[in-house]
Amino acid sequence: MTVLEERGKTMPQIGYYNYYNNPHRYSPTEVVDRYQEMVDRATGDEIYANNEDPYSDRNKALRNLDEQLASTAASIRSRCRTQQEVRTYLSQKYFGTSDFTYTKKWTDPERYAMFENEYNAVCYGTIGGGNFNDPRLSGKVELKTYEEQKTDEKAANQRIISNQINLFLQNHGVCIEENQSFHLSINPYSYIVQASGDMSEALLQKIKELLESNNDSRDIFYWGLNNGAKYSEESLTKWRAYQNVKKYSGLELQQLQLVDGKFYTENGEDAWELIKEGISKDSSIAPEFKGAAYDYVQGLMDVVADKGWDNIPDIQMDIMYSGKNGLYVA
């Protein structure tokens, strides 16, 4: 039994944890309950660009199966010391010829799905996105096309981020009536907000200052990128180039000097060398992916160098918020 399970033997914790220290998987220091994070986001006043509906049929079914498997998974972990032992045990359970004959009533795809979900529950504490061929999941969720699923997810995200903004403003003394609205124009580089609308200048200034705090305007900008904002591929590349240069070197791309297709600081330093150093030191990028990161950022910068910073239009992010309809792209 793991140290985490020793702390609470009566009820195994539900959530992601790398129980067998798989070097190819993320290893948090404690259980990460992603479902509870979804609930907290959906009901809280912190603003996030990407949200999921924890109460959708799909997410409720996944959570219910996580809960059903929690005790079984903890029991298997107590007897299996390695992932290979887990795989052997579950292979016998779902595909063997003895001891677990009850599983033979399921089809091969169903048994494989049950095996896969239970394996993930044992090794990682959760079935994650789940295999819906599992008879414990099938029938509880309406199967939809990819397009239908994405439409539902976008609608849920819009509803949740609108609620987050509403609660955030209310908790800071700003109440937007149903017949009121305001317009946000967000700078794609600094995320500075220009607010306008049918309310006093003092109130608009307060909204601006609140949304610029804690990077909230950045999350609203990110939401707009994926929810109807109009921009060209070149404008998107320009924005990505700026953000990556800023992230890895702290430099402002538009302030660099362009000489013979290369960017230099005002002190004559080669900006690319500083960016490469930043990427090499970034612990979030695995060593085997450093080369791909170099190529990606270099490719973005090459586009800006070829066209010229001033010759590529900026992304124009214009977003509306109304008390009736919530957040939407203008």
pLDDT digits (tens, 9 = 90+) for 110-148: 999 999 999 999 999 999 999 999 999 988 888 889 999
Q: Do the Cβ atoms of 165 and 327 come closer than 8 Å?
A: yes
100 with 23, same domain? yes
Return the amino acid letter for 61: A
Between 172 and 144, the higher pLDDT residue: 172
Percentage of the chain lying above the pLDDT 90 cut: 86
Nearest to 152 by CA among 34, 57, 219: 57
193 shares a domain with 51: no
Backbone angles phi, psi at 321, to 5 degrees: -135, 130
| Token duo for residue 139 | 């029938």
The whole-number pLDDT of residue 7 equals: 39
Select from 198, 244, 205, 231 the least CA-distant residue to 317: 231
Closest CA to 161 of 220, 225, 229: 220
pLDDT > 70? residue 271? yes
Above 90 in pLDDT, residue 106?
no
pLDDT value at position 139?
80
Look at residue 131 and tell me if it is in a domain. no
> What pLDDT, on the 0 to 100 scale, is given for residue 286?
87
- Are the C-beta atoms of residues 327 and 156 closer than 8 Å to each other? no
- Report the DSSP beta bridge partners of residue 322: 181, 326
Between residues 19 and 105, which one has the greater pLDDT?
19
If you average pLDDT over residues 82-93, what whole number do you get? 94
In a domain, 140, yes or no: no
**Could you tell me if 324 and 176 lie in one domain?**
yes
Look at residue 293 and tell me if it is in a domain.
yes
- Opening angle at CA 33, ends 29 and 36, nearest 5: 145
Q: Quick check: is 31 in a domain?
A: yes
Per the domain annotation, does 33 fall within a domain? yes
Give domain status of residue 135, yes or no: no
Question: In this predicted structure, what is the pLDDT of residue 98?
Answer: 58
Token pair 């049929």 in the structure block, residue? 57
What is the DSSP code (8-state) at residue 263?
E
Q: Same structural domain for residues 305 and 249? A: yes
* Model confidence at 8: pLDDT above 50: no
pLDDT, residue 3, reads: 46
Phi, psi at 262, each rounded to 5°: -125, 150
**Last residue of one domain, picked from the residues 94, 124, 154:** 124
Distances (CA, A) of 5 to 63, 89, 153, 240, 295: 19, 20, 34, 43, 44
201 & 221 share domain: yes
Q: Are 164 and 24 part of one and the same domain?
A: no
55-64, 88-97, 191-200: segment of lowest average pLDDT: 88-97
Residue 58 lies in a domain: yes
Strand, coil or helix: what is 250?
coil
pLDDT at 99 over 70: no
Question: What beta strand segments (E) does the chain contain?
Answer: 181-186, 193-197, 257-259, 262-264, 317-322, 326-329
Contacts (Cβ under 8 Å, ≥6 apart) of 246: 252, 253
Domain edge (last residue) among 124, 154, 178: 124
Mean pLDDT of 175-184: 95
What's residue 102's pLDDT?
A: 61
Q: Count up the domains in the chain and report the number.
A: 3
Q: 91 — phi, psi (to 5°)? A: -65, -40
The whole-number average pLDDT for the span 312-330 is 96
Taking residues 266-279, report their average pLDDT: 96
Q: Are residues 7 and 101 in the same domain?
A: yes
Instruction: Look at residue 103 in the predicted model and tell me its pLDDT.
Output: 66
The verdict on 13 and 116 lying in the same domain is: yes
pLDDT greater than 80 at residue 151: yes
* CA-CA-CA-CA torsion sign (226, 229, 231, 236): negative
Please indicate, yes or no, whether residues 189 and 99 belong to a single structural domain of this protein.
no
Mean pLDDT over each residue of the chain, to the nearest integer: 93
What is the rounded CA–CA span in Å between residue 230 and residue 84? 50
Same domain, 278 and 221: no
Q: Within this chain, do residues 254 and 209 fall inside the same structural domain, yes or no?
A: no
pLDDT of residue 49: 97
Same domain, 269 and 251: yes
d(CA 122, CA 74): 7
**94 assigned to some structural domain:** yes
Separation of alpha carbons 173 and 127, rounded Å: 41
| Full residue range of the structural domain in which residue 281 is found | 233-311
CA atoms 245, 249, 254, 260: torsion sign: negative
Taking residue 314's Cβ as centre, other Cβ atoms within 10 Å add up to 16
